[in-house]
């Protein structure tokens, strides 16, 4: 896991051909807006979270965020333990995000 500040996260993501964005917040939080092209897997689902994550391509680079950066740091650790090579945590999370936001 690597901790990246907002600008670094956005810049690295924009250049990464092998990137995937994971949003580990709850569905209620996601309804308030999310980073475009992110896949939501709620970390609070416990084993359900692990089951979903294990279906992902371990060779991709995962840019992971939550509301404040704490749950996404946990998610990065879990992915690392499951054999994912590259995980990047968004420091400060969605509440400090200044990039594009999508709302349903």
Rounded Cα distance between 61 and 77, Å, is 14
Cite the active site residues. 66
Cα pseudo-dihedral 73, 75, 79, 82, rounded to 10: 120
- Angstrom CA distances, 98 to 48, 60, 61, 85, 86, stand at 30, 24, 21, 27, 23
């Amino acid at each position: 896991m690597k901790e990246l500040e907002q600008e670094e996260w956005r810049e690295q993501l924009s250049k990464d051909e092998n990137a995937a964005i994971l949003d580990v917040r709850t569905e209620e939080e996601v309804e308030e807006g999310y980073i475009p092209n992110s896949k939501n897997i709620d970390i609070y689902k416990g084993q359900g979270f692990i089951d979903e994550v294990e279906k992902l391509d371990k060779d991709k680079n995962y840019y992971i965020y939550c509301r404040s950066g704490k749950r996404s740091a946990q998610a990065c650790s879990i992915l690392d333990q499951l054999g994912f090579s590259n995980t990047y945590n968004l420091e400060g999370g969605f509440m400090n995000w200044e990039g594009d936001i999508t709302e349903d």
